[in-house]
Amino acid sequence: MHDGYMGFYYAVPISLMVYAGLVISDRTKDVDSLEPKYELLLIISGFYVIIAVLSSMMFICWYALDIDMGFDYRYFTYGLLGVIAAFILAYASLMTKMKKRRLTSFRKKLEQNYINSGLGEEQAVGYKKQIKWYFESTECFLRADLSLEILSKELQISKHYLSEIFNIHIGKSFYSFIAEYRITYAIERLKNEGGRLKIESLAHECGFNSKTSFNRYFKEITGFNPSEYISNRILDKESIELVGT
């Protein structure tokens, strides 16, 4: 029983090292576009490495060399892991609150900008329907040069009104709105082709001017980068369907 527990205990630093290694390897591939939350993940992974090394040293001293320092080494390791877990929870809670405050503040500023616009609610609803119809019937979002000014001329809606409709009534920026249509289109293309498309070519086909921009919006909207999406959502689904046939 004791040996089994010690074996389980030693699995803790091993699992920490493996996890930290995978995270560091994955998140350092594109350091230039690293988001703050992933910077935090790298820092935590570094702490995991330190805990794993300390745990291993303590395990050797306690179990192999039979050195007694007057306290249970296991509780030290578990205590450090508990502190990190509490830190992660506190950080997540703080970031959620800060994000809500920023969104509320940003929305109030936007509303102040349009307070004297003269755009009525009924008129705004009509414009929203017109925009949606235009995007879906013409696939204008595939145009790399599409801008608020061009859309204003095409729909004969003032640029100021369009800006208000997107930011206030739709709740998204013009470019975020376009990006959602483009990424939806990209996903359909990937599904239809079984993931057998070059990412850079697909990015330009969808209207993005760069692969980097495409990857960023794809990650924001789906939670995966394009390669991960192909592997996790398309190729895995195909393999499951093949097994079921």
Mean pLDDT in residue range 163-189: 91
pLDDT number for residue 243: 32
Res. 241 pLDDT band, cuts 50 70 90: very low
| Non-local CB neighbours of 185 within 8 Å, separated by 6+ positions | 139, 141, 142, 206
56-60, 181-185, 211-215, 226-230: range with lowest mean pLDDT = 56-60
pLDDT tens for 120-147 read 888 889 999 999 999 999 999 999 999 9
Res. 245 pLDDT band, cuts 50 70 90: very low
Q: State the Cα angle at 92 between 87 and 97, rounded to 5°.
A: 125
> DSSP code of 209?
S
What's the mean per-residue pLDDT of the chain? 77
* Spatial distance between the Cα atoms of 226 and 208, rounded to a whole number of angstroms: 14
Tokens of 161: 């009104």
pLDDT tens for 64-105 read 666 665 666 667 667 777 777 777 777 777 777 777 777 666
- Regarding pTM above 0.75, the answer is no
For residue 103, the one-letter residue type is: L
Helix (H, G, I), strand (E, B) or coil at 114: coil
> DSSP code of 230?
I
Exposed e or buried b for every residue in 76-106, given b needs 16+ CB within 10 A?
ebeebbeeeeeeeeeeeeeeeeeeeeeeeee
